[in-house]
Each structure stands twice: as structure tokens, then as C-alpha cells.
Amino acid sequence: MKAVVVVFPGSNCDRDVAVALARCTGCAPTLVWHGATSLPPCDLVVLPGGFSYGDYLRAGAIAAHSPIMRSVREAAARGIAVLGICNGFQILTETGLLPGALVRNAGLRFVCRPVDLRVEGDSPFLAGFTPGECIRFPVAHMEGNYQTDPETLAGLEAEGRIVLRYVDAEGGVTEAANPNGSVAGIAGITSASRRIFGLMPHPERVIGDELGGSDGRRFFAAVADALA
């Protein structure tokens, strides 16, 4: 699998996700600066976590208008898979490639801790997990509170596009298990085509037991298998 990681000014998980891809898929990605106007041939574009443009205006708002994003939109339209992690998810909603918006956490605090997540629906990005399975990735964000209008939410539910939710230890979607106030406990959604996936948690931070978990390793290995 050929992957590209886009680097924005203020990205800070770009190297982490590049290392995760190299270690878990055996194929090192190409890093592309946001000012580039074209993408090299690839199967997957990753928009990494961080604070692109210092989160000025709104998280992801300025990055969404970076020169490279025109190529990312074109690649997405051609069916190239796009993965947005944390700030990358915020950029995908600001670009309109995914619906809804990520607003300030309901608790007004930066949350940084491992969270339990339930995998749902079918998505090439979660091919490594069984639907209904609970996994654990860490979150680290200030604007991870997913909001959308009731009609869009109903559509996402009906189409099975809510593929990752915050859950408690028993796998239930509860207020206590929700780190940021996201509607319906949403941690990750896909596009209608299933080829675009945005999630707030960080799989690249759990790619081995020395990092506190290896669910991220399963995630990236299966993404490579599904997209190769």
C-alpha cells in the first residue's frame, strides 16, 4: 500500500503516523507538504493530528483551504481512500468531505486519555476488527465534540456510517463514557462511499505494547490489507 501523509504547519502527529504506517504495514509513506499542488500516486492519503495553523479561526478551517487540499478532494472523488485522525478529522469536516463539525469539548477541557471504542458497520478502515468489538485508542483533543443537524445524524445512523463510538467498559454508549459531548457518542464516521474515514482517537499512538496497547497495529495492518 502506497500512503501519503500530508504535513501542515502545526501538524504534530505526522511523524508518529508515518512511523506507525512503516512499522505496521512494512511500507513507509511519503510525506507531502501542504503547499504542494499535487499528490504522488497512492492508495491512501492521511491527514494527521496536530494543530494545523495553530487552530486559528476554527480547528482545521485554514488547513481545509491549503493548496494540497484541492488534490486531496480530487483524489477522494476518484475513490482514493482518505483517513483523517483528530485534526485530520476536523479538516475533513471543514473541507466538506465528511458532514458535521467538531466543536469545543462540552467539558471545556483538553482531554488526553485512553478511551474504549465500539466498532460498528462495515468500513475498509476497520476491516481488522469484528463489528461490535470494543477496542482502545487514546484521545487528545480540545475540539472533539461532534455535532450535526438531526437529519444528517439520522442519515448517518441509517446508512451505518457511524463506525466508531465512545463506550463504557460494558460496551454501552453512555454520557459518562463520552469524553467530549459528541452527539450519539460519535468517535468516527465514514463517507457514504466508505472510502473517507475521520476519527478523533489516535490509532498511531498504540502500535505496540511498549506504548500501552497494540490495537493501532491491528488497525494499520488491516487498512493496508484492505486498500492494497
Partner 1 sequence: MKAIVHVVLKKDVLDPQGKAVEAALRTLGFGEVAEVRQGKFFEITLDGHRDDASARLDRMCEELLANPVIEDYRITIPDA
- The C-alpha atoms of residue 159 and residue 49 are separated, in whole angstroms, by 27
Please say if 42 is a catalytic residue: no
Decide if residue 95 touches partner 1 (CB under 8 A).
Answer: no
How far lies 87's CA from each of 76, 120, 129, 198, in Å?
18, 22, 24, 9
Name all contacts of 18-23 with Cβ < 8 Å and 24+ positions apart. 19/204, 19/207, 20/203, 20/204, 20/207, 20/216, 20/217, 20/220, 21/46, 21/220, 21/224, 23/207, 23/208, 23/217
Q: Mention every residue, 6+ apart, whose C-beta is less than 8 A from residue 149.
A: none
Q: Which stretch binds partner 1 (CB under 8 A): 17-25, 34-42, 104-112, 124-132?
A: 104-112
**Near partner 1 in 145-184, by CB under 8 A:** 147-149, 181
Please say if 204 is a catalytic residue: yes
> Using CB under 8 A, which of 31, 106, 127, 134 touches partner 1?
106
Decide if residue 99 touches partner 1 (CB under 8 A).
Answer: yes
Please say if 86 is a catalytic residue: yes
Displacement of CA 71 from its chain's centroid (Å): 19
Looking at beta carbons only, is 137 or 146 nearer to partner 1?
Answer: 146
> Using CB under 8 A, which of 19, 28, 31, 103 touches partner 1?
103
Determine contact, residues 49/140, Cβ cutoff 8 Å. Answer: yes
Residue of 42, 86, 141, 143 with catalytic role: 86
Looking at beta carbons only, is 120 or 143 nearer to partner 1?
Answer: 143
Q: Which stretch binds partner 1 (CB under 8 A): 73-81, 118-126, 141-149, 197-205?
A: 141-149
Interface contacts to partner 1, rule CB under 8 A? 57-58, 61-62, 65, 93-94, 99-101, 103-108, 147-149, 181
